[in-house]
Structure 1
Amino acid sequence: MTELRTERLLLRGWRASDLDPWAAMNADPAVREHLGAPLTRPESDAVAARMRADLDRRGFGWWAVEERATGAFIGRVGLDVVGDDMPFAGVDIGWRLTRSAWGHGYATEAARACLTYGFDVLGLAEVLASTTVGNVRSQSVMRRIGMTHDPADDFEDPSVPEGPLRRCVLYRATAGPRTAAPVADASR
């Protein structure tokens, strides 16, 4: 199992002890603001099981994130293959953190590690990221990690019912020099 280490964070495989804080995160309306309705405990557990299986099968996916100093679970960050139902293809990057972890630069730090892993280890030529038009926090992270946005790439998410969460923006990062140089330490 590949783990990624940054100065303050460990991106690692999922543990049984992650399920309670993961479920609490998914039940928090503020965390779910740009994702849809809060998840029930069975729904949250099912998502964690899928993420664990993807990591085991592919060696990359949605890593659990913990603060190295405290060992506290603070969310998930990772790379995932874009679903067939989307109007674009490739590998995307994303993050979801507990509200208490917001505003500390953790999403940016972890996302930089994922970009490095995607480009330097997986050999990806491009990494994508998408979010709702209104999710300015995530869009700020995308810009901080060197991703660019072309409004011509914006799209309607076919998996979302009609409403404010359906209109999305798409950001891109390509291999090679980026404005925000990532740092990561990948180990197995």
Structure 2
Amino acid sequence: MTEIRTPRLLLRRWQDDDLVPLSEIHADPTVMQWIGDGTPRSLEQTAEDIEAWEEEWDEEGFGIFAVELLGSGELAGAVGLYVPDSPAVVAGQVAIAWRLARVFWGQGYASEAAHATLEFALQDRGIDRIVAVCRTADTGSLNVLDKLGMHAEGGAQDLVHGNDVQVYGIDLTEFEG
């Protein structure tokens, strides 16, 4: 089983006990405003998300991790890798994404988890390049992308959800692990 430990976090595969805490994160409109079409997700939709993430692990050898606080064992959110279908400019590439419960914002957890995931992708899985797609108004995620050393590569339109997004990227030669 793939696990990554950071000073404060455990990134791991999903467990049955994660469904309810993640569904509570997905039910928060403030958390979800930057994800997909911006609407909160139900318990059933969250179960489908976890199932899809686990399938991606099985098919690709990477996926979205559950992010657990080492000190308390509490589920803080999700971070990991996926292969997006849109926008077209990044379709089929490997992308990084995250979402954390609002109570954990502003404490460096997203940056810590995303950095560990980026290192995992580039060094452990041998993926040469990682992209990220971020809504132009999502300043919190833009700050994380900057901390990761990812570079803006241009704007795009997410035709599925109708959002203006910024595309970021980094390759192995640029990453400082």
TM-score between the two structures when normalised by the length of structure 2: 0.92
- SS at structure 2 position matched to 1:43: helix
Q: Deviations over 1:114-166 (max 9, x none)?
A: 1111111221221101111110110110000111113xx210001104xxxx1
Q: 1:3 aligns to what? A: 3
Q: Which runs of 4+ in 1 moved over 4 A?
A: none
Unaligned ranges ≥5, structure 2: none
- SS at structure 2 position matched to 1:66: strand
Rounded Cα–Cα distance in structure 2 between residues aligned with 1:21 and 1:71: 12
Rounded Cα–Cα distance in structure 1 between residues aligned with 2:3 and 2:159: 32
Rounded Cα–Cα distance in structure 2 between residues aligned with 1:25 and 1:177: 33
**What does residue range 41-56 of structure 1 map to in structure 2 within 5 Å?**
41-56=43-58
Q: Amino acid of the residue matched to residue 168 of structure 2?
A: Y
TM-score between the two structures when normalised by the length of structure 1: 0.87
Q: Structure 1 residue 114 and structure 2 residue 117: aligned?
A: yes
Q: Larger deviation: 127-136 or 86-95?
A: 86-95
Q: Amino acid of the residue matched to residue 29 of structure 1?
A: P
- Pairs aligned (count): 174
Which of structures 1 and 2 has the larger relative contact order (alpha carbons within 8 angstroms, sep 6+)?
1
Q: 2:67 aligns to what? A: 65
**What does residue range 26-41 of structure 1 map to in structure 2 within 5 Å?**
26-35=26-35, 36-41=38-43
Q: Structure 1 residue 131 and structure 2 residue 131: aligned?
A: no
Unaligned ranges ≥5, structure 1: 183-188
Q: Over the residues paired in the alignment, what is the CA RMSD in angstroms?
A: 1.4
